[in-house]
Amino acid sequence: MTAPAGAPPLAPTTLDLIGNTPLVRLAGPSAAAGCDIFGKCEFANPGASVKDRAALWIVRDAEARGSLRPGGTIVEGTAGNTGIGLALVANALGYKSVIVMPETQSREKMDTLRALGAELVLVPAAPFSNPGHFVHTSRRLAEETPGAVWANQFDNVANRRAHIESTAPEIWEQMEHRIDGFTCSVGTGGTLAGVGLGLKAFDESVTIALTDPHGAALYSWYAEGELRSEGTSVAEGIGQGRVTANLEGAPIDTQFRISDEEGLEWVARLLQEEGLCTGLSTGINVAGAVALGRQLVAQGKADARVATILCDTGFRYLSSLYNAEWLAAKGLPVFPWLAQ
Ligand code: PMP
């Protein structure tokens, strides 16, 4: 029996399941923007987030450089999706993974990484200037461990290459070479810079926008050339205070600043109206895409087409974003269906 036309091709290995994610038109955001808004379904990766791509490219890059050899170890300081992606890629290729994280992180995250087989190293929470900070600890640990490499996701540009070489061409094809704008938020900047550079290489006129949460310093950097943060955000995985190596030379045309409340409103609407359960960075991205769509329409592009990233699954946040007490304790609106 042959596969029906349009079915995804057979994957020769599990690593081939990373990327080639679906792109979906989002009805509510499109209606709100007055033009077409599309979401790249990165929750459909094996590790359920956009970071699987960075993990795979970082590991392949280390292999190509000869710094990662059979039986070697991948070390990273991260509590989140990158650790999950690295642990899965390491398993698939026969490497060990060591993830360093502050002991203040949620039990859920520790349990998840342990469940995947990563070795967890917990360190006390410390400011970045302290040599005991989890990022510095992970670098030292990689240096001291024979056969280990440090993933260094913030400043290792293999991260953004994942998006130049995979995410951007996929979006370009899926949108049938007609795209007017792209926006997303920044953790390392790999996604925004990589998709931005990749799409501009196909069509220089695509508007690339930063969508920044409150508490991050990049909105003011791109607006005024000054790193300055205002407010706070509970969004995980995004909110950057410096220009990482991945962000250097990113072709940013415009920028939006989105509050957690706006992001949460889209998280709620995507779930209730469209049946998509996502994390808060996705809600913030969608709010940014709506803002960009409206701006393009106002500039005379009535049929503008805008894409953004649906970064990870909401199932990762059951004890936070989808928990009434947690939301209330943070002073955030509780989703009506949780309030009973
Ligand atoms: N959303 C989530 C949930 C993430 O974990 C990350 C990665 N830190 C991002 C968005 C941002 O991706 P990037 O690191 O490519 O900027």
User: Distance, CA 72 to ligand 1 centroid (Å)?
Assistant: 26
Judge whether 256 and 292 are in contact, CB under 8 Å: yes
| 7 found inside a domain | no
User: Distance, CA 302 to ligand 1 centroid (Å)?
Assistant: 31
Parallel/antiparallel/unpaired status of strands 36-41 and 305-310: parallel
Q: Give residues (CB < 6 A) around ligand 1.
A: 49-51, 80-81, 185-191, 236-238, 279, 281, 311-312
pLDDT value at 1 more than 70: no
The active-site residue out of 51, 96, 109, 200 is 51
Q: Say if residue 284 is in the same domain as residue 181.
A: yes
- Total H helices, total E strands in the chain: 12, 10
CB-CB neighbours of 287 under 10 Å: 27
Instruction: Say how many domains are in the chain.
Output: 2
What's the pLDDT tens digit per position in 94-105?
A: 999 999 998 887
User: Distance, CA 236 to ligand 1 centroid (Å)?
Assistant: 8
- Which tokens go with 257? 């600043």
- Which tokens go with 189? 């900047």
Q: Say if residue 73 is in the same domain as residue 34.
A: no
78 Cα nearest atom in ligand 1: 8
- Based on the residue annotation, tell me whether 40 is a catalytic residue of this protein: no
What's the pLDDT tens digit per position in 128-176?
A: 899 999 999 999 999 999 999 999 999 999 999 999 999 999 999 999 9
d(CA 151, CA 86): 9
What's the pLDDT tens digit per position in 281-325?
A: 999 999 999 999 999 999 999 999 999 999 999 999 999 999 999
Q: Say if residue 125 is in the same domain as residue 67.
A: yes
Q: Say if residue 136 is in the same domain as residue 82.
A: yes
pTM of the model: 0.97
Judge whether 311 and 49 are in contact, CB under 8 Å: yes
User: Distance, CA 204 to ligand 1 centroid (Å)?
Assistant: 25
User: Distance, CA 94 to ligand 1 centroid (Å)?
Assistant: 25
The pLDDT value recorded for residue 105 is 79
Q: Which amino acid is at 242?
A: R
| 339 found inside a domain | no
* Smallest CA separation from ligand 1 atom 4, residue: 237
236 Cα nearest atom in ligand 1: 3
Helix (H, G, I), strand (E, B) or coil at 212: strand
* Smallest CA separation from ligand 1 atom 7, residue: 237
User: Distance, CA 208 to ligand 1 centroid (Å)?
Assistant: 17
Q: Say if residue 239 is in the same domain as residue 128.
A: no
pLDDT value at 114 more than 80: yes
* Boundaries of domain holding 294: 14-45+166-328
Judge whether 87 and 78 are in contact, CB under 8 Å: no
| 4 found inside a domain | no
Category of 134 on φ-ψ map: left (φ > 0), alpha (ψ -120 to 50) or beta: alpha
d(CA 182, CA 281): 15
187 Cα nearest atom in ligand 1: 16
Q: Say if residue 126 is in the same domain as residue 22.
A: no
Order of strands across the sheet that contains 119-123: 119-123, 96-102, 73-77, 148-150
* Smallest CA separation from ligand 1 atom 2, residue: 237
What's the pLDDT tens digit per position in 171-226?
A: 999 999 999 999 999 999 999 999 999 999 999 999 999 999 999 999 999 999 99
Distance of CA 44 to the CA centre of its chain: 13
Q: Say if residue 40 is in the same domain as residue 134.
A: no
Judge whether 46 and 69 are in contact, CB under 8 Å: no
Rounded to whole angstroms, the maximal C-alpha distance in the chain is 61
CATH number of the domain residue 306 falls in: 3.40.50.1100
The pLDDT value recorded for residue 127 is 87
Q: What residues contact 152, with CB distance under 8 A and at least 6 apart?
A: 58, 76, 139
Tell me what the mean pLDDT of segment 9-27 comes to.
97
Q: Say if residue 203 is in the same domain as residue 300.
A: yes
Q: Say if residue 315 is in the same domain as residue 258.
A: yes
Rg (CA), the chain: 19
Q: Say if residue 206 is in the same domain as residue 282.
A: yes
Helix (H, G, I), strand (E, B) or coil at 49: strand
Q: Say if residue 173 is in the same domain as residue 27.
A: yes
Q: Say if residue 61 is in the same domain as residue 141.
A: yes
Burial 32-41 (b: 16+ CB within 10 A, else e): bbbbbbbbbb
153 Cα nearest atom in ligand 1: 14
| 340 found inside a domain | no
